[in-house]
Amino acid sequence: RYFRPVYRYCYIRLGSHEAAEDATSDTFLKALTALNNYRNQGFAGWLFRIAHNTVVDAQRRQRPQVPFEQAGELADSAPTPEAVSLERADYDDLHATLALLTQEQRTVLELQLAGLNSGQIGVAIGRGAGTVRMIRFRAFNRLRELIRSRSSEASAEVANDKLSATASQAA
């Protein structure tokens, strides 16, 4: 019942299937060993609090590593540089936009994407459900503003480039 949402949350935060699998299994192992400390506060929120702490620990330890033997395999199966560049640009834009949110806002959105409701998120982050809804509302409003701002800047840049090109052709 909880495996997929916990795995999805770990994957969103860690960005790797292997790291997400490790963090998910660590989460359930920690939950099992701490089950006698559980205080009927909402199991999903309690479990995701453990998942959140496990992910934070994994992020501290995480360093990109590829075994030497696999380097050739990765090069052969890699997408084209153009595809990687476009995907990376989109990914970087998304992360740059999300980085402008507070850590608490990002965490609330990530837990929402993992399938938790406001009450469960509240237990996971130590806040009330109403506070979680307010944080989520503010996060979405901020994202909306940032996206509008970025699209306006991009439109202005495209228009400026076209004007510059037209001016240089006229000269």
Class of the domain covering 101-171: mainly alpha
- Along the 171 residues of the chain, how does pLDDT read in single tens digits? 888 889 988 888 888 888 999 999 999 999 988 888 888 778 888 888 899 899 988 888 876 555 555 555 655 565 666 666 666 666 677 777 888 899 899 989 888 887 888 998 998 888 999 999 999 999 989 988 888 887 777 666 666 666 666 555 554
**Alpha-carbon span 27 to 61, nearest angstrom:** 16
Q: How far is CA 60 from CA 64, 151, 160, in A?
A: 12, 34, 43
In the numeric block, which tokens belong to residue 74? 């990765």
- pTM reported for the whole predicted model: 0.54
Closest to 44 measured CA to CA, from 57, 53, 33, 31: 31
Best CATH choice for the domain 1-78 from the list 3.90.1690, 2.60.40, 1.10.287, 1.10.1740: 1.10.1740
Domain with CATH 1.10.1740 in the chain: 1-78
**CATH 1.10.10.10 domain position(s) in the chain:** 101-171
